[in-house]
Structure 1
Amino acid sequence: MTMAATLLTPEEGEFNPLLPHAYELVVGIFSFLVVLFVVGRILVPRIQKTLTERTDAIEGGIKRAEEAQAEAQALQRQYAEQLEVARRDAARLREEAREQAAQIKIELREEAQAEARRLVEAAHAQIEADRQAAFAQLRAEMGRLSTELAGRIVGESLVDEARQSRIVDRFLDELEAGSAQAVR
């Protein structure tokens, strides 16, 4: 048997496994058309819909990521601007505090100088008052000693207070007048 002999048709009397029977061919073509219809009309649109959804989801995800990134950059710029404003405000507040501290320092210095002047003036006034009191006390003591001395020299007692006071005052006035002329 040759190769040609094996390819004989069923009409020739022998069965050929490579050539299908006509009913198998019709059933196969009908089944193919049904599968093609089901795949073409039902499965392909579903697959295309799924692919479109996935494409949209991926593109939407990319778009959302880009939007989120743009929003994050905008927030970062806004944060940087706010940080810069806060730094400028802090610098301004530090400068104002320095100026206020300098002003307070000047005011305290002026108050201290005024207080020192007042204390010096009060001390001068107290010294002058003490000097006047000492001068008055010295004058009285000198008067008493002068009358005592004069009483011893004259030999009579100068007990009369009014007279004694007049003599002492006159003597001290003459003494002061003489010392004032010597100073000039």
Structure 2
Amino acid sequence: MNFELGPLKPEPFMLALGLALFFLVLWILGHGLFPRIERITAERREATEGRTLRAEAVRAEAEAARDAGRHEPARARLRAARIRQEYAERGAAAVTAAREEATRERSRLVTAAHARIAADQTEVTNRLRRDVGDLAVALAGRVAGEPVHGVAADRRTVDRFFGSL
């Protein structure tokens, strides 16, 4: 074997030994060091990308909680508005019922008061006529100088006078 390698002119034994050692180093690197480098690189990538994925998952969960938090006050305001509306309607119904009850009670009281006033007026009128009649008879007796009770009672003069009014 005669190789022309230029001015270097290596010896074939050294060339074969160099190639054998080169392939031995490549084999050691390929079976020992490169897989370890790949494994460490993969672990680092997994750690980095895994944390990124976990961070994305946490971010998505936080956004979901934030969205739920945004919708919760709106739902609470809607519920509060419904409750206010319901109690406003209940209050209006209670006010209407109270007004109707008060109107009925007022009508009953007014009717009772009118009846009482009419009865009192009749009683007062009768008492006033009796008192005025007694005073008129007493005054007539003083003017005449003698008692006129008996004459006024026999003739019913006071009753006829008030009857003519």
Q: Same fold (TM over 0.5)?
A: yes
Alignment of 1:97-112 (within 5 A): 97-112=87-102
In structure 2, the partner of 1:40 is 30
| Matching residue's letter, 2:44 | R
In structure 1, the partner of 2:160 is 174
| TM-score, reference length from structure 2 | 0.63
The Cα shift of 1:174 comes to: 3.4
In structure 2, the partner of 1:87 is 77
CA distance in 2, matches of 1:174, 1:77: 98
CA distance in 1, matches of 2:49, 2:123: 107
Aligned residues: 159
**Given that residues 141 and 148 in structure 2 are in contact (C-alpha distance below 8 angstroms), is that contact kept between their aligned partners in structure 1?**
yes
CA distance in 2, matches of 1:51, 1:168: 143
Residue segments in structure 1 that go unaligned for 5+ positions in a row: 1-6, 8-17, 180-184
In structure 1, the partner of 2:3 is none
Residue segments in structure 2 that go unaligned for 5+ positions in a row: 1-6
Structure 1 142/61 Cα, relative in aligned 2: closer, same or farther at 3 Å? same
CA distance in 2, matches of 1:85, 1:158: 96
Identity %: 38
Alignment of 1:19-168 (within 5 A): 19=9, 25=15, 28-29=18-19, 31-114=21-104, 116-117=106-107, 120-121=110-111, 123-124=113-114, 127-128=117-118, 130-152=120-142, 156-158=146-148, 167=153
Deviations 1:52-88 (A, max 9, x none): 2234334434443443344344434544553443232
Higher mean Cα deviation, 92-101 or 26-35?
Answer: 26-35
**Two-structure CA RMSD over aligned residues (Å):** 3.9
Structure 1 171/20 Cα, relative in aligned 2: closer, same or farther at 3 Å? farther
| Matching residue's letter, 1:94 | R
**Given that residues 143 and 168 in structure 1 are in contact (C-alpha distance below 8 angstroms), is that contact kept between their aligned partners in structure 2?**
no
| Matching residue's letter, 1:167 | A
The Cα shift of 1:95 comes to: 0.9
| TM-score, reference length from structure 1 | 0.58
**Given that residues 151 and 158 in structure 1 are in contact (C-alpha distance below 8 angstroms), is that contact kept between their aligned partners in structure 2?**
yes
Structure 1 115/24 Cα, relative in aligned 2: closer, same or farther at 3 Å? same
CA distance in 2, matches of 1:104, 1:38: 95
Q: Report the structure number with the largest CA radius of gyration.
A: 1
Secondary structure at the counterpart of residue 124 of structure 2: helix
